[in-house]
A = this chain, B = another copy of it.
Amino acid sequence: MRPGGRSNDDWAGVTCVVTGGLGFIGVNLARALVDGGATVRVVDALVPDHGGRADHLDGVAVEAVLVSDIAGPLVGELLDGADVVFNVAGQVSHTASMRDPQQDLYLNATSHATFLDTVRRVVPGARVVYTSTRQVYGRSSAAVVDESHPANPVDVNGVAKLAGEQLHMVYAHAHGLACTALRLTNVYGPRQRLTSDDLGFLPVFLRRALQGEEILIYGDGLQRRDCLHVDDVIVALLAAVDDRAVGQVFNVGHTNTYALREIASMIVEAVGSTGGIGLVPWPDDRARIDIGSFHTGSARIADVLGWRATVELAAGIRDTVAFYQEHGCYLSST
């Protein structure tokens, strides 16, 4: 059974494995799949300081949760009978990748080679959708960066994520696995880990505003980014389970960009924070790997798969802030 082009509510009878399924994107995806009627199995290594939480699927009717590295020995059993594999597991911290390159290369590249070998052996006909990142491009002077732009990552995380993505394409073209890769822009929304300073600027901005602290922006805050609500990402992941997407790489971004100052203002306003916003000089370790302004061009996934971002940033931030105001545990625990 090879589903294709399904909407969110059309997953009855489909068995899905979500790697990284206790992390930010993974848990939102697993919930959406369960809501859509799928049989869902999850594997997550719960690497300390990453996005995973052991309680993230409490009360959600998944079939199995395996706490394991994706290269672990029980992953084959979890995969057995799967129709679709959403390979979302990965290290996302740019700064951590510079402190420990070996771990990042393992988590984002080598363990994925082992995982793909397992998929090949156990479910060679399954669809595989991999979450890559627009970080693979590095800095760009292009107004909008499309998939033909050279990939020149500026940090180890970008190097390792690109290797992980390209492994999926090698397994697609050389071994016939039905792999698709999505290069995601900055993602925000419910169930993101807020308590680390290592996982991108959006969770840090949200945490500081929610705690009534000043949001600190490095530099002048005029660098622009396109940001995606996780709900839009889930729709893209589901849309990528489609014959037309096999063996291909798609950017997944938003049509609108905002300056970091504007994004911070929206968050302060949504929270009603009195902490305000401050500009501070770039710390050395961040300046070295900053990419400046970036706009992820998503024309291709719109053309081929009909996907477009639908959540405007201000509304998405309001939704996100409301979630965290209701779920205070994200501010206090890991």
| B-binding residues in A (CB < 8 A) | 98, 101-102, 105-106, 109-110, 113-114, 117, 148-156, 158-160, 162-163, 166-167, 169-170, 173-175, 288-289
Contacts and interface: CB of A to CB of B under 8 A. Distances in A.
B174 A153 contact: no
Given A170-B153, A174-B154, A289-B174, A163 B102 contact: no
Contacts of A169: 152
Contacts of A174: 98, 154-155, 288-289
Contacts of A154: 170, 173-174
A272 B109 CA distance: 47
A204 to B, nearest CB: 21
18 contacts: A101-B113, A102-B113, A105-B110, A106-B110, A148-B150, A150-B150, A150-B151, A152-B166, A153-B166, A153-B170, A154-B173, A154-B174, A156-B170, A160-B163, A162-B166, A163-B163, A173-B288, A175-B288
A158 to B, nearest CB: 8
Nearest to A101: B113
A165 B163 CA distance: 11
Given A106-B110, A113-B101, A170 B159 contact: yes
Contacts of A114: 101-102
A160 to B, nearest CB: 7
Number of copies: 2
Contacts of A152: 166, 169
Contact of A110 (B110, B117, B149, B155): B110
A316 to B, nearest CB: 32
Nearest to A169: B152
Contacts of A105: 105, 109-110, 113, 163
Nearest to A160: B163
Contacts of A110: 101-102, 105-106, 110
Given A101-B114, A159-B163, A162-B162, 14 more contacts: A98-B174, A102-B114, A105-B109, A105-B110, A109-B109, A110-B110, A148-B150, A150-B151, A153-B170, A154-B173, A155-B174, A158-B170, A159-B170, A160-B163
